Structure 1
Amino acid sequence: MKKQNLTIVGGGSTYTIGMIMSLIAEKENLPLKRIVFFDQDAERQALNAKATEILLREHYPEVEEFVYTTDKAEAFANTDFFFIQIRTGGLAMRKQDEQIPLAHGCVGQETCGAGGMAYGLRSIGDMINLIREIREYSPDAWILNYTNPAAIVAEALRREFPRDRRILNICDMPAAIMVSYASLLGCEIWDLVPEYFGLNHYGWFTAVRNKQGEDLTRVIKERILEQGIAPTDPEIANDPSWQKTFKNIRRMLTDFPEYLPNTYLQYYLYPSDMAAKEDITNTRANQVINGREKRVASLCQRIIAAGTTRHEELEADIHGRYMVRVAASLAYNRGDTFIVIVENNGIISNIQDDVMVEVHARITNDGPKPFAVGKIGQFYKAMMESQLAYEKLTVDAWYSGSKQQLVEALTLNRTVVDAPKARAIVDELLHANRDYLPQFFGGR
């Protein structure tokens, strides 16, 4: 089995150590020769990297080379796989994304609604430039992108790189939900095969089967309705916010019993409730800064100070393991089924072709081979069409610099709807993002 060279773009991310633990847990599925970290923030990346050196020495000595760098030529050349997660503007801008809509009584969330629009607008330019630079050095590498908001980023990359068949946009949320399904069923996530359709953070499981083809959907629904469902992936299991989110799966399934919902649908089905429960002085960004950010930094510091991981309880999470399993199926033509983001082109037959949908697909060394979904019901079609119009208008606006298109986008988004609120929120978000979005102020 050929050993792969991997570059992780965003080496300073709080998810990077979890990714390394996942690579260790999955090393038999995706054996690696070289790992490279790349980040523009050398100091932030170095903390993760110094801890990673110890992790690899103790748990993955088969890796022949580990490098962390801010040099693109060193990071991007001779690479088989790129895992990308960047956050343009960092957590400071995430706070603005969440607080501005909340001040107007609307959902304040990093990927959904107005906050997702702002984050997406900031992400587009950096992602386009990054892909161009990667392709200068590694034209045939697989690029697995999980930069949020994935729907907006994927739509922009579809337009910018229409013939690049080795860019694959992925979200781990369906997998995190499936981990909880597996807990309900007393099995492993890898024993389950999903059937799914929608847009990113906006979709439904139509069926969940085991590897023998047995349909387990009814059992899952019954257990959720009888006893509820909780997050069980180690990264989110003890997080009060995620516990409340998974509790809402039962509510959504009660109100709309046909399919099993993605957790993010809570923001679109109950926007008033979701906005009302938030504390504008302590949004999710604050919780991450005071929670995961400090927790991961402390873990790295302890590992570095001790020179060993012996005293730490280290766990791989689904965020990383899912990405690694997808990469392994691409590398070794395994044909495993995963939920990924691809251009529609008839997969959902009564939705337009030129939209990035999230569906189940067989993953081969020739890329994803999506399964046909066919026609979807009127309710789901209407839901999806308003959301995809919001996504397309947001990307249109990034190219055109049109504030009016952003107002139209938010007016269509179910978390806002109200046109005067949409205009006021757009004004404030653009003001906060002036340095990142010069095209809306007569520059580029």
Structure 2
Amino acid sequence: MKLTILGGGGFRVPLVYGALLGDHADGRVTRVVLHDVDAGRLRAIARVLAERAAGVPDAPEVTATTDLDEALRGADFVFSAIRVGGLEGRADDERIALAEGVLGQETVGAGGIAFGLRTVPVAVDIARRVARLAPDAWVINFTNPAGLVTEAMSRHLGDRVIGICDSPVGLGRRVARVLGARPAEAWVDYVGLNHLGWVRGLRIAGRDELPRLLADPVLLGSFEEGRLFGADWLRSLGAIPNEYLHYYYFNREAVHAYREAGRTRGAFLRDQQAGFYAGVADPAVPALELWDRTRAEREATYMAENREAAGAGEREAEDLSGGYENVALALMRAIARDERATLILNVRNRGTLAALDGDAVIEVPCLVDAHGAHPVAVDPLPGHATGLVCAVKAVEREVLDAARSGSRAAAVKAFALHPLVDSVNVARRLVDGYAAVHPGLAYLR
């Protein structure tokens, strides 16, 4: 089975390959094709993969190419993890937004809109090529903003594109762990959009244990989201929010922390990864060892500004191991082998949330089999969550309209309607600022 990884020179690709190395069953991935627009990054990651595969006799074969059509032909699965504009673009997204006093995070608020505006046209081109060159392939999208990009691609690929994210997986794992349950044995009632969802229940042997967690301040203070949001706010919500909702519930504090930081997250990763890729270019440097050290630092500093603003402390050791690669592997196995699985995924709504239309991509538990991912029926969200979900989905639709039409007015509208952008004039300045630094936004008129 052939897996094509778009963004194959990306730093986290070795996580996906590592998951594949542990799969020895029939029907597994035997060939991996890395595609990237940067040949140097491809060579660097190929070195890491080669060292990681040492001593594994049935390791999937790895090839690399900068030719997108060549990479897609004959693919059974396409894993998309591209970053249009690179980490320099992410750093610009943050810098321009913070100068206006609004959030620049890469998936939330102004930064997420800017990232989406330059990514959607590229993602749509990829979707069209997949439909032409590999019509039977399944596309697994990890490209951010994941829900928005998955919805853009679904307009050309239908249900054969499925979005994944590690945030719900990590949240469910932490809640189950605190409650003394094995994550694999717990049913996580999670509903929302990507980076905008809530755990509303966690059932173990048919019993919802979330009320026990919400009633115990000691338990609530023993895991990351409990410390990040605070026990009182979680009890008020009656749910455990995805960590990215900290940007909404504590926006003023988050923006202040980011403005006070010595450099933004994007600038940190840009500089850190530049050092990694430069180091791996030296054949004498052990590539896998350098990658491991760099990844450990990356994971330990994840959302550091938010944790500092909330006084949440350091991340737990168990949360430094990633997770999206295991979701991707489980998803591929379920489809390729009809090994039924339940996974939290980004899929078309299909009536699951009555407040949204059927084509809106949402993030919910899904039953996965050889025919794809099928969203599970869920209870409606409470009014405050429904309002936020509908507002952000409306913004995503304006981004899709701007990307389709090239309308600058639609882009301004997307920024202005977002709950974390507080002025139409700020929205206009954001569009001007982003268009000035991102060549990928030249299409806006």
| Percent pairwise identity | 28
CA distance in 2, matches of 1:87, 1:284: 15
Deviation of the 1:137 alpha carbon: 2.8
Go from structure 1 to structure 2 and tell me whether the alpha carbon gap of 1:286 and 1:141 turns closer, same or farther (over 3 Å shift).
same
| Aligned residue in 1 for 2:305 | none
| Aligned residue in 2 for 1:195 | 189
Are 1:349 and 2:354 an aligned pair? Answer: yes
Q: Which amino acid in structure 1 is aligned with residue 33 of structure 2?
A: V
Give yes or no for contact 1:51–1:304 (8 Å, CA) kept in 2.
no
SS in 2 for 1:31: coil
| Aligned residue in 2 for 1:116 | 112
CA distance in 2, matches of 1:431, 1:377: 40
Question: Which of 429, 435, 443 pairs up with 1:439?
Answer: 443
Give yes or no for contact 2:172–2:199 (8 Å, CA) kept in 1.
no
Deviation of the 1:306 alpha carbon: 4.9
Are 1:217 and 2:210 an aligned pair? Answer: yes
Go from structure 1 to structure 2 and tell me whether the alpha carbon gap of 1:62 and 1:103 turns closer, same or farther (over 3 Å shift).
same
CA distance in 1, matches of 2:214, 2:423: 34
Deviation of the 1:302 alpha carbon: 9.1
| Aligned residue in 1 for 2:57 | 61
SS in 1 for 2:43: helix
Give yes or no for contact 2:178–2:219 (8 Å, CA) kept in 1.
no
Q: Which amino acid in structure 2 is aligned with residue 367 of structure 1?
A: G
SS in 2 for 1:372: coil
CA distance in 2, matches of 1:325, 1:33: 16
Deviation of the 1:220 alpha carbon: 3.8
Are 1:83 and 2:79 an aligned pair? Answer: yes
Go from structure 1 to structure 2 and tell me whether the alpha carbon gap of 1:199 and 1:171 turns closer, same or farther (over 3 Å shift).
same
| Aligned residue in 2 for 1:144 | 140
SS in 2 for 1:165: helix
| Aligned residue in 2 for 1:237 | none
Any gaps of 5 or more consecutive residues in structure 2?
297-319
1:197-276 equivalence runs, <5 A: 197-210=191-204, 212-222=205-215, 226-230=219-223, 247-250=227-230, 253-254=233-234, 256-276=236-256
| Aligned residue in 2 for 1:286 | 267
| Aligned residue in 2 for 1:238 | none
| Aligned residue in 2 for 1:71 | 67
Deviation of the 1:225 alpha carbon: 5.8
Higher relative contact order (CA 8 A, sep 6+): 1
CA distance in 1, matches of 2:20, 2:213: 30
Go from structure 1 to structure 2 and tell me whether the alpha carbon gap of 1:297 and 1:390 turns closer, same or farther (over 3 Å shift).
same
Give yes or no for contact 2:98–2:255 (8 Å, CA) kept in 1.
yes
CA distance in 2, matches of 1:316, 1:26: 18
Go from structure 1 to structure 2 and tell me whether the alpha carbon gap of 1:297 and 1:220 turns closer, same or farther (over 3 Å shift).
farther
Deviation of the 1:54 alpha carbon: 2.4
Deviation of the 1:35 alpha carbon: 1.5
Range that drifts further, 401-410 or 311-320: 311-320
Give yes or no for contact 2:13–2:45 (8 Å, CA) kept in 1.
yes
Deviation of the 1:170 alpha carbon: 1.6
SS in 2 for 1:278: helix
Give yes or no for contact 2:168–2:242 (8 Å, CA) kept in 1.
yes
CA distance in 2, matches of 1:307, 1:86: 22
Range that drifts further, 137-146 or 411-420: 411-420
Go from structure 1 to structure 2 and tell me whether the alpha carbon gap of 1:146 and 1:125 turns closer, same or farther (over 3 Å shift).
same
CA distance in 2, matches of 1:202, 1:254: 15
| Count of residues paired in the alignment | 419
| Aligned residue in 2 for 1:317 | 322
1:146-185 equivalence runs, <5 A: 146-159=142-155, 161=156, 164-185=158-179
Q: CA deviation digits over 1:344-389, x for unaligned, max 9?
A: 2211123333321111110111011111124332212211111111
SS in 2 for 1:276: helix
Go from structure 1 to structure 2 and tell me whether the alpha carbon gap of 1:26 and 1:294 turns closer, same or farther (over 3 Å shift).
farther
Q: CA deviation digits over 1:383-412, x for unaligned, max 9?
A: 111111111111111222222222222222
TM-score, normalising length from structure 1? Answer: 0.85
Range that drifts further, 358-367 or 31-40: 31-40
| Aligned residue in 1 for 2:300 | none
CA distance in 2, matches of 1:308, 1:196: 35
SS in 1 for 2:440: coil
Are 1:126 and 2:122 an aligned pair? Answer: yes
Go from structure 1 to structure 2 and tell me whether the alpha carbon gap of 1:379 and 1:193 turns closer, same or farther (over 3 Å shift).
same
Give yes or no for contact 1:172–1:318 (8 Å, CA) kept in 2.
yes
1:372-383 equivalence runs, <5 A: 372-383=377-388
CA distance in 2, matches of 1:326, 1:127: 21
CA distance in 2, matches of 1:46, 1:353: 42
Give yes or no for contact 1:9–1:38 (8 Å, CA) kept in 2.
yes
Are 1:33 and 2:40 an aligned pair? Answer: no
CA distance in 2, matches of 1:303, 1:190: 41
Q: Which amino acid in structure 1 is aligned with residue 269 of structure 2?
A: V
Give yes or no for contact 1:32–1:62 (8 Å, CA) kept in 2.
no
Q: CA deviation digits over 1:271-294, x for unaligned, max 9?
A: 211111113650011221344664
Give yes or no for contact 2:192–2:362 (8 Å, CA) kept in 1.
yes
| Aligned residue in 2 for 1:241 | none
Give yes or no for contact 1:194–1:337 (8 Å, CA) kept in 2.
no
TM-score, normalising length from structure 2? Answer: 0.85
Q: Which amino acid in structure 2 is aligned with residue 267 of structure 1?
A: Y
Go from structure 1 to structure 2 and tell me whether the alpha carbon gap of 1:427 and 1:383 turns closer, same or farther (over 3 Å shift).
same
CA distance in 2, matches of 1:369, 1:293: 40
CA distance in 1, matches of 2:374, 2:178: 29
Q: CA deviation digits over 1:197-248, x for unaligned, max 9?
A: 11111111122224x33323234434676452545xxxxxxxxxxxxx7732
RMSD across aligned positions (CA): 2.9
Q: Which amino acid in structure 2 is aligned with residue 11 of structure 1?
A: G
